[in-house]
Amino acid sequence: MAQAANRNTAIGGLFWTALGSGATAASQFALYFVLAHYLRPHEMGLAAISLVVTNIVLAWSDVGLSSAIIRETELTIDQLSTLYWSTLIAGAILCAVQYCASGPIAGMLGDARMEPLIKLGAAAFPIASVGAPYQALLQKQLRFRKLSVVECSASIAGAAVGICAAVFGYGAASLIYGMLFAYFSKSIGLLAVGLSYWHPRLVLRGSGLGPLVRFGAFQLGDRTLQSANFYVDQIVTSSLLGAQSAGYYSFGSNLATTPVFRINAIANRAALPLLCKAWKDRQLVKRGYLELLRLVSLINFPLLLALAALAPTFVPLLFGQAWTPSVTIVQILALASVARAISNPVSVLLLAWGRADIGFIWNLSISAYCLLLTWAGATVAGVVGVATAQMAASFTLGAVLYFTLVRRVLGACGREYFAAFLPALIAAAIMAVSEAVAQSEMPSDSSVQIRLAVALALGIVYLIAIWFLAPKCRQDLVHVVTWFRNRHHDAQKRS
């Protein structure tokens, strides 16, 4: 009975996660579609690199305490309140630090035009910190549906504001305005939902928080290094190659990495509290982790490999000939993101284990490797060299991840580990080859609508291949349909 309840909770979380991921990815695509037509490459570069600075510092916005809230089984009201006010104070301090340091940061990145954009981005910290503890509490309580609704609404609202700003001529600042409004909408939504569960008290006490602070410190360092390693390519591109090259690169990077970043972030958020609750049963944790790996593979692989196959046709058609230099970057980074999609969920496993220190050490140990490889790629072959360096780093690190981290936590499970993502990889590769061949054989004057129809029709190839290659996916589909039908039946009974 308990196992069925856990399965229903997991299926519900994954269902709402998938729904939220789809809506978020669609809104982000719409935003970049409009920005590509209203912003010039150097403006896109300025906005993207300024946003990178904010995203790296945002790792500090909750002082690493959100994951500690999720993992800790018993917290008093005073401890929760102290963590809440500490997060708000940290947000205010980080806002002031980034605002004051915007000039030197812009100088380091090689373009003084970034300074006002970095100053504007500093407002994200106090806005995001208001809702961050409530997001952690809702995750802890497995309120996936409400979290998904808040995430989707905020992402759509932010994209709408960014689009309007671009249309009305705000240029490079459009992306920053969209990001700020997305965080504002998310914090308002989290407050609206979270205040019905808990109101913080006006207390600020450090007693009993030592273990949480230590865990949060390692989580903070781990997240900072993850962000730095993730964005090192865009930072190096801006510093060495200038805003124009950074614009082409950031455009390609956003198309190729947004699916992994958005989908995995929401999936990891749903999986973390479930793995924390199940941690005493190591076999259950292993099944949950492999299920997470299978989910992100099933969603990410077809998107990424189809993007790599279709980029030469659809980037110029949809975004304009001005972005043709980004095609090769999109293709290389889409392949790099395949490895990232597999590697990313291990952070959830380490957090559920309570070993944020291991994640910190891992990311610290690979930082120099990623930086040197990216620097060498930029020096030798410009933006294409940077993208190639990212692909090489992603695949080499992904290859050793199982032996260095996953096996250490779950024990020897190589066959199950690789079986979790290989069927999706094979099916997506079959689909991508079919897409590339079909597009190359079509007449050059074929309309966008016809090309899109062919691309969507060939997506059925992926579904058919998955049906035969992955029996567990068929079982998961049956569980999802059963869960959804039961929810609908319960709703009818209540009405």
d(CA 16, CA 147) in angstroms, rounded, equals 9
Question: Rounded to whole angstroms, how far apart are CA atoms 217 and 89?
Answer: 16
Does the predicted model carry a pTM greater than 0.75?
A: yes
What the block records as the tokens of 483 is 């869960």
205: left (phi over 0), alpha (psi -120 to 50) or beta: beta
Q: Which of 126-140, 184-198, 256-270, 323-337 has the highest mean pLDDT?
A: 323-337
Q: Write out pLDDT tens, residues 171-180.
A: 889 989 999 9
Out of 36-45, 90-99, 133-142, pick the least confident: 133-142
pLDDT at 371 over 50: yes
Most confidently predicted of 56-70, 389-403, 429-443, 444-458: 389-403
Across the range 7-28, mean pLDDT stands at 64
Mean model confidence pLDDT for the chain: 81
Residue 410's pLDDT is 87
Average pLDDT of span 437-464 = 78
What letter represents residue 120's amino acid? Answer: L
Residue range 218-237, pLDDT digits in tens:
666 777 777 778 888 988 99
Res. 44: pLDDT tops 90: no
Residue 2 banded pLDDT, cuts 50, 70, 90: very low
Of residues 252 and 145, more confidence is placed in: 252
The answer to which of 144-153, 176-185, 341-350, 458-467 has the lowest mean pLDDT is 458-467
Read off the pLDDT of residues 404-449 as tens digits, 9 standing for 90 and up: 888 888 888 888 999 889 888 988 898 888 888 888 888 877 777 7
Q: Between these two residues, 455 and 246, which has the higher pLDDT value?
A: 246
Q: What is the pLDDT of residues 239-283, one digit of tens each?
A: 888 888 888 998 888 888 876 777 777 777 777 777 877 777 878
Candidate ranges 190-199, 204-213, 384-393, 395-404; pick with highest mean pLDDT: 384-393
- 1 pLDDT more than 50: no
Per-residue pLDDT, 141: 77
pLDDT for position 13 = 59
pLDDT at 493 (0 to 100): 60
What digits encode the pLDDT tens for the residues 92-110?
A: 888 899 999 999 988 888 7
Q: How confident is the model at residue 482 (pLDDT cuts 50, 70, 90)?
A: low
With a cut of 70, say whether residue 15 has pLDDT above it: no
Give yes or no for residue 489 having a pLDDT over 50. Answer: yes
350 pLDDT tier (thresholds 50, 70, 90):
confident
Q: How confident is the model at residue 61 (pLDDT cuts 50, 70, 90)?
A: low
Least confident of 47-51, 282-286, 324-328, 472-476: 472-476
Task: Write down the pLDDT at residue 185.
Answer: 94
